[in-house]
Amino acid sequence: MKVSIKVRYFVTEDETIGNEDLIIETENTLPDAIKTIEKVTGFPLSYKLNRGYGMLVNGRSYYLLQKEGFTLSEGDKVVILPKLGGG
């Protein structure tokens, strides 16, 4: 099933890719969404996720959601960011 999601990049790629929410249409599984985001933005998301980057869906880690068998719904918000320390 196809859904429209909002994607935003924080902090390092925010000004080059995702200064505002990108509306992306994708199949509703997380692996499909990652492939679609890579295709639309040109950002190597799978590679980066294995090297310290994080991805939150509605504020929750993609890794946890994947374990829980989560599927995306219309309007879900995805944010992508490098591993950050405290302020």
Q: Which residues bind other proteins (CB under 8 A)?
A: 10-12, 14, 19, 52-54, 56, 58-61, 63-64, 66-67, 77, 79, 81-87
Pick from 45, 39, 47: nearest CA to 57: 45
DSSP bridge partners of 25: 4
Give the span between the Cα atoms of 19 and 13, in whole angstroms. Answer: 8
CB of 84 to other proteins, least distance (A): 5
CB of 53 to other proteins, least distance (A): 8
CB of 47 to other proteins, least distance (A): 13
DSSP bridge partners of 80: 9, 55
Whose Cβ is closer to other proteins: residue 21's or residue 74's?
21
Whose Cβ is closer to other proteins: residue 2's or residue 23's?
23
Give the span between the Cα atoms of 72 and 33, in whole angstroms. Answer: 8
